[in-house]
């Protein structure tokens, strides 16, 4: 519902003001909000009367929409004259207040006519103002009370702040100490991690030249600007490459103690200070011996990185030099043993005999890990009756012991073959020989015997991968007849012979498990791959160049090999 008043005179304005106050009171508007609304309206009406003309006040009450809602009273003052479009002007002033609930508003906004009622209404307005002023006074007293409480609280806060400042300074000092300790711990962790990683990288190689190449790569630029290694065993070569050695390096070699040469003391633990080097007077030098179990084998000379060395850095570098010396010494010992093993291995490999109508080709590849020597072996020799015996075998284990045992088996087989006997009989005798000679060592082997002018091959196997036969037509067959058990096991056995047709142009492949076995796939897929590689060789190529055919068979077989075992291949080709 909307109520409207025309205002032209002061009396009209007073009546409208009174009607607004009663209208708001009837709707339950609070005294404070009602006084604020009426005061704002009075100020606006005074301005309107000063301007002159006719003005219009409208009051609209929007009732609450629900039980929880609030109503709204909107008061607006606008010019009473219409504009060119014939509509009322926009409000010159507008205000709104909320009321909580529906009230008894009947006659609340009727027009007041008599002067007595107007005077009474104005006095009522003064009473509202007095109540507001009283409430304001109470609020001021409450504010004064809280101000005093706040003042007392502030005094306590200031005292607390002083205590907190002192505690904060102490905390900052603790944080600084903790930060310093954490930084030192992080630096120590970084050095220990570097030392562990560098040690692993240096000891991973058994080639001393590779270790010498890796050392500068590890140290530059974090812990050194340059690295020079002087090995006493290669002193003549080093003198030609690098010239004379600094005096501090010579002192380190003689005394076996680290030396620091510079124009100032290093004060490094366990390091002696020396004058600047005459060779490099402008650069500090840290010369550290490379110790071994007996005596130093060399000296490593370092120049400092951009930010120099700390005492902890120097201790770490001395420890790394110690581990480097041990790694180089182990590598040199291994290289010496490897040279002996390779010499022995080459001495045990024999030349293959030449036989009319039969062509042989063999390949032996040592493992790339360890001493490069194992128990794989091949041999071929003639028997007194004119037949040719081809054998391939594998002694368990690696190293010199396996190689020596392989040599004894090879010699025993040749001795047994002088008395004749089939491949199965020869393997049976080898089994008994190995069991009594070395009970804790075992071997596998395949023996094939070729008789002249016969188109068959007699063969026998003991725990060994089966031979692979290629026919002249290119068909491949795996000779997987039941083999005997491994040689040397505690078991009585009589190994049987087997015979296969071998027309001219046929090729028989004997091999060890290092050629076909892979950790991830086992041995059977490898044998199938060998059969495919053998089948792919042309008959004319096998007749013309068996050596080259052996290489063509090996190449695809070794592409995915980790070479952690010896590889042996023996091809026996009947000329077409």
Chain segment 304-324, per-residue pLDDT in tens: 999 899 999 999 999 999 999
Mean pLDDT for the stretch of residues 286-311:
91
pLDDT at 163 over 50: yes
Residue 417 and residue 389 in contact, taking contact as beta carbons nearer than 8 Å = yes
CB-based contact 563:548 (threshold 8 Å): no
Contact 73, 23 (CB under 8 A): yes
pLDDT at residue 86 in the model: 46
Q: How confident is the model at residue 240 (pLDDT cuts 50, 70, 90)?
A: very low
| pLDDT value of residue 18 | 85
Average pLDDT of the chain to the nearest whole number:
86
| 72, pLDDT greater than 90 | no
Considering only CA atoms, which of 403, 482, 392, 494 is closest in space to residue 441? 403
Residue 52's φ and ψ, nearest 5 degrees, are 85, 175
pLDDT band of 104, cuts 50, 70, 90: low
pLDDT of residue 416 exceeding 80:
yes
Contact 23, 61 (CB under 8 A): yes
Measured CA to CA in angstroms, residue 518 lies from 7, 160, 468, 533, 569 at distances of: 109, 76, 18, 17, 16
Q: pTM, whole model, 2 decimals?
A: 0.53
Mean pLDDT on 83-99: 74
Structure confidence at residue 123 as a pLDDT band (50, 70, 90): low
Sign of CA dihedral 411, 416, 420, 423: negative
Pick the range with the lowest mean pLDDT from 48-52, 108-112, 199-203: 108-112
What's the confidence (pLDDT) of residue 478?
95
pLDDT, average across residues 166-176: 88
Q: Of 55, 61, 15, whose CA–CA distance to 38 is shortest?
A: 15
Residue whose tokens read 């609020």:
139
Output the CATH code of domain 205-343: 3.30.450.40
Q: How many residues does the chain have?
A: 576
DSSP letter at 456? E
Q: Band of the pLDDT at 333, cuts 50, 70, 90? A: confident
- Pick from 13-22, 100-109, 210-219 the range whose average pLDDT is largest: 210-219
**pLDDT average, residue stretch 513-524:** 85
Average pLDDT over residues 382-410: 85
Domain ranges within the chain, ordered by starting residue: 2-113, 205-343, 351-574
CB atoms within 10 A of CB 224: 22
- Decide which of 3.60.40.10, 3.40.50.20, 3.40.50.970, 3.40.50.300 is the CATH code for 351-574: 3.60.40.10
């Amino acid at each position: 519902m909307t109520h409207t008043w025309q205002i032209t005179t002061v009396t009209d304005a007073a009546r409208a003001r009174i009607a607004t106050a009663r209208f708001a009171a009837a709707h339950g508007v609070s005294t404070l909000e009602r006084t604020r609304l009426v005061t704002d309206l009075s100020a606006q009406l005074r301005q309107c009367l000063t301007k002159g003309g006719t003005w219009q006040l409208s009051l609209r009450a929007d009732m609450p929409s629900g039980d929880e809602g609030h109503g709204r009273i909107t008061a607006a003052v606008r010019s009473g004259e219409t504009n060119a479009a014939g509509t009322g002007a926009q409000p010159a002033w507008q205000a709104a207040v909320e009321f909580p609930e529906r009230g008894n508003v009947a006659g609340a906004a009727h027009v007041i006519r008599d002067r007595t009622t107007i005077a009474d209404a104005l006095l009522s307005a003064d009473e509202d103002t007095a109540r507001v002023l009283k409430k304001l006074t109470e609020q001021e007293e409450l504010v004064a009370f809280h101000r005093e409480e706040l003042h007392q609280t502030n005094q306590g806060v200031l005292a607390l702040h002083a205590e907190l400042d002192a505690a904060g300074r102490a905390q900052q000092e603790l944080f600084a100490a903790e930060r310093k300790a954490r930084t030192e711990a992080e630096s120590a962790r970084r050095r220990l991690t570097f030392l562990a990683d560098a040690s692993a990288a240096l000891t991973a190689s058994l080639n001393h030249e590779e270790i010498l190449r890796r050392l500068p790569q590890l140290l530059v630029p974090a812990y050194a600007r340059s690295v020079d290694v002087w090995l006493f065993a290669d002193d003549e070569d080093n003198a030609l490459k690098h010239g004379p050695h600094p005096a501090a390096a010579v002192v380190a070699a003689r005394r076996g103690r680290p030396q620091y040469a510079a124009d100032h003391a290093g004060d490094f633990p366990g390091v002696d200070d020396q004058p600047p080097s005459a060779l490099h007077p402008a650069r500090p030098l840290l010369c550290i011996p490379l110790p071994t179990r007996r005596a130093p084998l060399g000296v490593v000379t370092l120049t400092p990185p951009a930010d120099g060395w700390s005492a902890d850095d120097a201790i770490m570098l001395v420890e790394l030099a110690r581990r480097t010396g041990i790694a180089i010494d182990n590598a040199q010992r291994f290289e010496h043993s490897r040279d002996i093993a390779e010499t022995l291995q080459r001495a045990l490999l024999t030349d293959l005999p030449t036989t009319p109508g039969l062509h042989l080709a063999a390949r032996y590849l040592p493992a790339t890990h360890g001493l490069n020597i194992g128990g794989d072996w091949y041999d071929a020799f003639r028997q007194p009756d004119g037949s040719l015996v081809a054998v391939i075998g594998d002694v368990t284990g690696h190293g010199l012991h396996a190689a020596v045992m392989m040599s004894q088996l090879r010699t025993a087989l040749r001795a047994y073959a002088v008395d004749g006997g089939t491949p199965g009989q020869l393997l049976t005798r080898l089994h008994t020989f190995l069991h009594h000679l070395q009970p804790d060592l075992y071997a596998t082997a395949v023996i094939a015997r070729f008789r002249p002018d016969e188109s068959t091959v007699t063969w026998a196997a003991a725990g060994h991968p089966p031979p692979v036969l290629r026919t002249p037509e290119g068909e491949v067959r795996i000779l997987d007849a039941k083999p005997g058990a491994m040689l040397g096991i505690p078991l009585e056995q009589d190994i049987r012979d087997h015979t296969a047709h071998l027309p001219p142009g046929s090729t028989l492949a004997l091999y060890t498990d290092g050629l076909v076995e892979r950790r991830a796939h086992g041995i059977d897929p490898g044998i199938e791959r060998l059969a495919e590689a053998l089948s792919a060789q042309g008959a004319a190529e096998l007749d013309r160049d068996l050596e080259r055919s052996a290489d063509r068979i090996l190449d695809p077989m070794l592409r995915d090999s980790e070479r952690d075992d010896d590889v042996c291949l023996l091809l026996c080709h009947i000329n077409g």
